[in-house]
Structure 1
Amino acid sequence: MTINCKGRLIDLSIPKIMGILNVTPNSFFDGGKYNDESELLTQVGKMLSDGATFIDIGAYSSRPSAEFVSEEEELDRIIPAVQLILKHFPDALLSIDTFRSEVAKACIENGAAIINDISAGNLDESMFDVIAKYKVPYIMMHMRGTPQTMQSMTNYEDIVKEMLFYFSEKVNKARSLGISDLIIDPGFGFAKTLDQNYEVLRKTELFQLLELPLLVGISRKSMIYKSLNSSAKEALNGTTVLNTIALTKGAGILRVHDVKEAVECVQLWSKINL
């Protein structure tokens, strides 16, 4: 499977790494660390040299019960970061973590390559139109509600079956608008209990029925550290274990805080599978 990023075909049959860059003061793991320009550029340079294919920039924390951020504030945070990164790393493929169409539009016009939408268009009905107009790859994640309400919306009869139906509807809508480059994200930690997260991971290979690239974002999440009675800071080993499992179940992109370790997962997985 391939996706077209600014005229570059990216082959996801060999899994790729997406490095996380939060330009927020309140992200669950690295909030506030990269608000200084030099620190931001140092981190981007490190992730790229460690082997990241994509850098995913977020300016609105989507952790459970995260504070609301206005569209203006999100733009004020993210546009300077996009411009700064592409000035120093013009070949970088930037993914924008936003559910707002105006933020997506502004970032694409400033050189972003991918839009990563936690709501798959549910929180902004104009998002699909923006993606169709600019013809960029679109990551559609499964979530119910909003970051403020999602953890109260975990009642499923058959979670994976319902997720497959959710994605099927989203794919049909996207295709009807001429959107070709689609990526599926199961949304670990979003409107799911700890046990539901592991059920989804256990059955992740079923998402291959959609015949689309699969992104898995498990990095340092509470499904790891709550299971181990530890913390996000102590969750790298658990992240590596679950990333490896995700690779065996068809993940084409791993979205991570720790790029070097994820690249090593892919390298060792490749020894067995390629």
Structure 2
Amino acid sequence: MTGTPSPRRSVLYMPGANERALEKARSLPTDALILDLEDSVAPDAKKEARDRVAAAAASGEYGHREVTIRVNAPGTPWHADDLRAAAEAGPDAVVVPKVDSPETVTAVVAALEAAGAQDRTAVWAMVETPAAMFEARRIAAADPRLTVLVMGTNDLAKELHAEHVPGREPLLTALSMALLAARATGKVILDGVYNDVQDLAGFEAECVQARQLGFDGKTLIHPRQLEPCNRVFAPAQAEVERSRRIIEAFDQATSQGRGVVTVDGRMIENLHVEEARRVLALAAAVEGR
């Protein structure tokens, strides 16, 4: 779980009970997959879905796509068996819903390691309640195996008694709290889903908002959402070109002993160079897909 992280612009939920969906996911242009054992699977189908998802995650047939398994929440009858199956399957990550405290993270990590989970298998924590927002920093810092926070905006809105409205004003405080926690602890953070799969204009607007806020990518519920999501969360060509100019100008100024440099009429400092390097690294990773 070291090195340059993969792009996580688009992270698509796939229902674990649907064999056809799991097969289709092998060819979809998504950065990562969440093979779901929770909300999309009926109680009487949990065991069959678990076996199918574990086999899919262990198959090695998903190419560059990061493959994760979303287990059922702690406290449910299926949680412990899901963790054992996931540990054996060896996915890139285990996605844990309803994480309200750092103790939940440490318990999950302990269970995975007791079941023989590989070092490469990370934990992604879903934060989707008011309690999780207030504990977000401690959750994110709970264990090195935790690498990603995932917003559960549907559950969060339900808990808040908030309406789903354009611009998401009722959720902005919670989104910002989780973002602060992720950045304070060096974790990746993914935005929640957009429910209306027919409204691509509204979906793209929410992607733009999420990127402007600082999210690394977005979780999705339908393949038709992939194109706008990948496009919005990838650096635009103009952004890439400006990043190159910033680095070149700063390097030249440094070599000449100058401490001040301007690019496109704006003063450039170390912080701008660091951001430019991040942009170029992300662009290179996306280009390699």
Q: TM-score, normalised by structure 2?
A: 0.55
Q: CA RMSD in A?
A: 4.0
- Indicate conservation of the 8 Å contact 1:216/1:251, yes or no: no
Larger-Rg structure:
2
Counterpart check, 1:45 vs 2:55:
no
- Indicate conservation of the 8 Å contact 1:54/1:93, yes or no: yes
From 175, 185, 190, the equivalent of 1:179 is 185
Segment of structure 1 superposing worse, 109-118 or 121-130? 121-130
CA distance in 2, matches of 1:182, 1:104: 16
Q: CA deviation at 1:152?
A: 6.6
Q: CA deviation at 1:143?
A: 1.7
Deviations 1:72-131 (CA, angstroms, capped at 9, x unpaired):
535323221222113xxxxx4213232234443233342441314051774585564242
Please give the secondary structure, in 2, of the residue aligned with 1:10.
coil
Q: CA deviation at 1:213?
A: 1.0
Please give the secondary structure, in 2, of the residue aligned with 1:8.
coil
Q: CA deviation at 1:10?
A: 1.6
Please give the secondary structure, in 2, of the residue aligned with 1:137.
strand
CA distance in 2, matches of 1:59, 1:14: 22
CA distance in 2, matches of 1:251, 1:120: 29
CA distance in 2, matches of 1:12, 1:196: 25
From 26, 33, 42, the equivalent of 1:19 is 33
Structure with more contact order per residue of length (Cα contacts < 8 Å, sep ≥ 6): 1
Identity %: 11
- Gapped runs of 5+ residues in structure 2? 11-29, 236-285
The total of aligned residue pairs comes to 207
Counterpart check, 1:211 vs 2:195:
no
- Gapped runs of 5+ residues in structure 1? 1-5, 61-68, 87-91, 220-238, 253-269
CA distance in 1, matches of 2:8, 2:164: 34
Per the alignment, residue 280 of structure 2 pairs with none
Q: CA deviation at 1:155?
A: 5.0
Counterpart check, 1:98 vs 2:81:
no
Deviations 1:128-163 (CA, angstroms, capped at 9, x unpaired):
42420313322231525469x46974254x534554
Segment of structure 1 superposing worse, 108-117 or 241-250? 108-117
Per the alignment, residue 7 of structure 1 pairs with 2
CA distance in 2, matches of 1:169, 1:127: 7
